[in-house]
Amino acid sequence: MPLRLFNTMSSQIEEFRPLRDSEVRMYACGPTVYDYGHIGNFRTFVAVDLLRRFLRQSGYSIHHVMNITDVDDKIIRNSARDGVTVQQYTAKYEKAFLEDAAMIGIEQPTLVRATEHIPKMADFVAKLVEKGIAYRTDDGSYYFRIAKFPSYGKLSKRDFSSMLDGARVDVDEYDKDSARDFALWKAPKTGEASWSTAIGSGRPGWHLECSVMSMQELGESFDLHAGGEDLIFPHHENEIAQSESLTGKPFAHFWFHARFLLVEGEKMSKSLGNFFTLRDLVLKGHKPSSLRYLLTSVPYRNQLNFTFDGLKQGAVSVERLRNFRLRLKSGNFAEGSTAEIQTLAADTVTKMRSALEDDLNTAQAQAAIFEMVRQANTAFDNGTLKKDDVPPLLTALEKFDEVFAVLEDDDLPKMQRVMDWAIAEGREKDISEELRDAVRSAGLSDSTIEPKIEEMKAARTARDFKRSDAIRAELADAGILVEITKDGIRWRRK
Ligand code: AMP
Ligand code: ZN
């Protein structure tokens, strides 16, 4: 079965086939680097990452481009306020964004920066002027005349037939109901950054950036364009208008939009105190993998309501999967195989695939892997899981992880880096006890812990429970939880 995806343009689930046989060319609107990325941003970026990973697993090579919006109204305002250049201002947040994206398991797309494409953007405006689609105003700004693009509104399904020809708007984000000619290029204002180009001085509008850079990297028509649902109008509508009126060709064939994330049932906002960056969560002691898991647990078109209970549940799920893999890798198994387990592993791979092919139904794919873990654990406990059953089970886990990317146990070094960053930024007071505990436990390497576990085992065999308890307490102090089970002694970091 081919992948079926919802296309915002047709408002339907369609079969996804790239324009070129085996290559997918996709563009995702990236962050505006004026602050640290929040969990809403990462909801969308993780959804796009998951799509990319699944397309690759499906056999496509991927050309995935993402822009870094390093010039816009907010950036210009903030850099002027701080008395630094736009580049100085954005460098810090771009670096932070890339670190955060890596921390949450996002594979890095090809990055393009607005400020590195200014002459191309000016050329684009000049061509639109030549075609009579863009016009210059007295102050030296340029606007797109939407009356010249009759299908304006086709993505957002808005009817602009009664719009006022010539009414203008010069901000990047504007009222959803306004049908206005939008700014392609903004004339310089005193004290604000501007570039000198063939069409005069000024700076590009946000919509223009994405049209110019996506077509430069991917061609005039490409497969898929992605972003959060707030970008449908005006941003993506305007990208389509600019691009298609210039080339006369369809711009992106698929429009992929992730539904907005809510926090505890409400829109995230600084004033409500429910606004979290990824770093805020790590400072509270949560693992990046817990958030990645949570963000993927609700299919991208459903509303995800972020809660701390959900985040804890995410941690438990990841832990279960990691423990299961550890069990498979370190357990002792009788020779042979069990037909039911072989079938279970193969069926799980098929179920995960069909779930993801169904408009990326991540919840169902996760349900399939957990059902496998449950049944395989039962078989392990009653001795019916045999040596030759291990490889197919591990393969199913690997297939899962190629897309979900939570199995690698690398949270602690990442958390350590966030702690170092907080100290360097003078934010020590924001470091929770939970994070300190976790990082302390990371200080003990596996090779230090294992001999202590062996010593505990020996002490218990010799019925020296005092010694065994002392080692257990020492490890607990260092954030290592030791569990004594009927299969032996297991440990994990808190
Ligand atoms: P920005 O940095 O504001 O340009 O946003 C970067 C990306 O995050 C865009 O694709 C937005 O649509 C997306 N985004 C912003 N807030 C949320 C949210 N609460 N839920 C999901 N996606 C969001
Ligand atoms: Zn964009």
Q: What is the pLDDT of residue 272?
A: 85
Whether the pLDDT of residue 168 is over 70: the answer is no
Q: Is the CB of 40 under 6 A from ligand 1?
A: yes
Q: What separation in Å is there between the alpha carbon of 289 and the centre of ligand 1?
A: 20
Amino acid at 247: T
Q: Is the CB of 227 under 6 A from ligand 1?
A: yes
Beta-carbon count within 10 A of 67 CB? 25
Looking from the CA of residue 259, the nearest atom of ligand 1 is 21
Mean pLDDT of 282-307: 98
Mean pLDDT of 123-152: 94
Inter-helix orientation angle 465-477/446-461, to 10°: 160
Task: Give the pair of three-digit tokens for residue 427.
Answer: 């934010």
Q: What is the pLDDT of residue 480?
A: 82
Q: Is the CB of 31 under 6 A from ligand 1?
A: yes
Mean pLDDT of 172-176: 56
Tens digit of each residue's pLDDT (9 = 90 or more) over 32-54 = 999 999 999 999 999 999 999 99
Tens digit of each residue's pLDDT (9 = 90 or more) over 98-110 = 999 999 999 999 9
Q: Is the CB of 231 under 6 A from ligand 1?
A: yes
Residue nearest atom 8 of ligand 1, based on CA coordinates: 41
CB 244 within 8 A of CB 211: no
Q: Is the CB of 43 under 6 A from ligand 1?
A: yes
Mutate to test the pocket of ligand 1, among 42, 44, 72, 256 (most ligand atoms within 8 A of CB): 44
Mutate to test the pocket of ligand 1, among 100, 113, 230, 272 (most ligand atoms within 8 A of CB): 230
Question: Band of the pLDDT at 373, cuts 50, 70, 90?
Answer: very high
Q: What separation in Å is there between the alpha carbon of 30 and the centre of ligand 1?
A: 9
User: At 73, is the secondary structure helix, strand, or coil?
Assistant: helix
Phi, psi (degrees; rounded to nearest 5) at 237: -60, -40
Residue nearest atom 5 of ligand 1, based on CA coordinates: 31
Phi-psi region of 206 (alpha: psi -120 to 50; beta: other; left: phi over 0): alpha
Mutate to test the pocket of ligand 1, among 41, 70, 270, 306 (most ligand atoms within 8 A of CB): 41
Residue for token pair 């357990």: 331
Whether the pLDDT of residue 159 is over 50: the answer is yes
Q: What contacts 417, CB < 8 A, 6 or more positions away? A: 99, 103
Q: What is the pLDDT of residue 441?
A: 82
Q: What percent of the chain has pLDDT over 70?
A: 96
Question: Band of the pLDDT at 161, cuts 50, 70, 90?
Answer: low
Question: Cα dist. 446→152, 442, 475 in Å?
Answer: 60, 9, 12
Distance of CA 34 to the CA centre of its chain: 18
Out of 136-150, 432-446, 474-488, least confident range: 474-488
Contacts 24+ apart (CB under 8 A), 452-458: 453/482, 453/489, 453/491, 456/482, 456/489, 457/488, 457/489
Query: Whole-model pTM?
Result: 0.90
Residue for token pair 């990317």: 405
Q: Is the CB of 288 under 6 A from ligand 1?
A: no
Whether the pLDDT of residue 170 is over 80: the answer is no
Q: Is the CB of 261 under 6 A from ligand 1?
A: yes
Q: What is the pLDDT of residue 166?
A: 58
Q: What is the pLDDT of residue 163?
A: 59
Q: Is the CB of 173 under 6 A from ligand 1?
A: no
Q: What separation in Å is there between the alpha carbon of 109 and the centre of ligand 2?
A: 14
- The ligand whose atoms approach the alpha carbon of 259 most closely is 1
- The ligand whose atoms approach the alpha carbon of 114 most closely is 2
Q: What is the pLDDT of residue 482?
A: 87
Tens digit of each residue's pLDDT (9 = 90 or more) over 206-218 = 999 999 999 999 9
- The ligand whose atoms approach the alpha carbon of 208 most closely is 2
Whether the pLDDT of residue 171 is over 80: the answer is no
Mean pLDDT of 330-353: 96
Q: Where are the alpha helices (DSSP H) in 36-182?
A: 39-57, 73-82, 86-103, 118-130
Q: What percent of the chain has pLDDT over 90?
A: 78
Q: What separation in Å is there between the alpha carbon of 298 and the centre of ligand 1?
A: 17
Residue nearest atom 9 of ligand 1, based on CA coordinates: 228
Whether the pLDDT of residue 452 is over 90: the answer is no
Question: Cα dist. 262→156, 266, 273 in Å?
Answer: 22, 5, 13
Whether the pLDDT of residue 301 is over 90: the answer is yes
Q: What is the pLDDT of residue 176?
A: 47
Tens digit of each residue's pLDDT (9 = 90 or more) over 229-258 = 999 999 999 999 999 999 999 999 999 999
Q: What separation in Å is there between the alpha carbon of 226 and the centre of ligand 2?
A: 8
